[in-house]
Amino acid sequence: MAASLSSMTTLSAPRPVRLLNISNPYSSPSHVRLLPCTASRYTRLVVRSTPSEIANKVSESIKNAEETCADDPKAGECVAAWDEVEELSAAASHARDKNKGKDPLEEYCKDNPETDECRTYED
């Protein structure tokens, strides 16, 4: 199990394996995947990583803003530079949130629903 999921940057806390997601009483999953690897959501500690493209942009813009503001902190260019930093940080945060939800198993099963790992059983 660990081998196939090693590409994910997640750490799952040691917990008895559950087949049903019963952590949320109000969600009603009518079908379950009988693959024990998909432990319930709350046992995963996700290490959030920003996609490198945006992360680079953020650090560059910070350096740029610090340089521009070294001359004159009140100038329009300085303010605009810090605004750019803010905008890119927000974009980075959104990108992290988007990636957080992605489950490699679900992604794989979207493309290959007929494989053994992706068989579903209706209750």
Partner 1 sequence: MAICTVHTTPSLSMPNTHLNQRQVIFFTSARKNQFFRGQNRAFTVSCSADAKTVVIGLAADSGCGKSTFMRRLTSVFGGAAEPPKGGNPDSNTLISDTTTVICLDDYHSLDRTGRKEKGVTALDPKANDFDLMYEQVKALKEGKAVDKPIYNHVTGLLDPPEVIQPPKILVIEGLHPMFDERVRDLLDFSIYLDISNEVKFAWKIQRDMAERGHSLESIKASIEARKPDFDAFIDPQKKYADAVIEVLPTQLIPGDNEGKVLRVRLIQKEGLKHFSPVYLFDEGSTISWIPCGRKLTCSYPGIKFTYGPETYFSNEVSVLEMDGQFDRLDELIYVESHLSNLSSKFYGEVTQQMLKHSDFPGSNNGTGLFQTIIGLKIRDLYEQIVAERAAATAQAAKV
Interacting residues with partner 1 (CB under 8 A): 24-27, 41, 48, 50, 53-55, 57-60, 62-63, 65-66, 69, 73, 75-95, 97
- CA nearest 21: which of 4, 33, 9? 33
DSSP string, 51-88: -HHHHHHHHHHHHHHHHHHHH-TTSHHHHHHHHHHHHH
CA diameter of the chain: 67
Residue 116 Cβ vs partner 1, minimum distance, rounded to whole Å: 28
Residue 103 Cβ vs partner 1, minimum distance, rounded to whole Å: 14
CA–CA separation, 65 vs 95, rounded Å? 22
Q: Choose between 60 and 119: whose C-beta lies nearer to partner 1.
A: 60
Residue 26 Cβ vs partner 1, minimum distance, rounded to whole Å: 5
Residue 67 Cβ vs partner 1, minimum distance, rounded to whole Å: 12
Q: Choose between 62 and 105: whose C-beta lies nearer to partner 1.
A: 62
Q: Choose between 22 and 80: whose C-beta lies nearer to partner 1.
A: 80
1 exposure class (CB count in 10 Å sphere: 0-12, 13-18, 19+)? exposed
Which one-letter amino acid corresponds to residue 75? A
Q: Choose between 60 and 106: whose C-beta lies nearer to partner 1.
A: 60
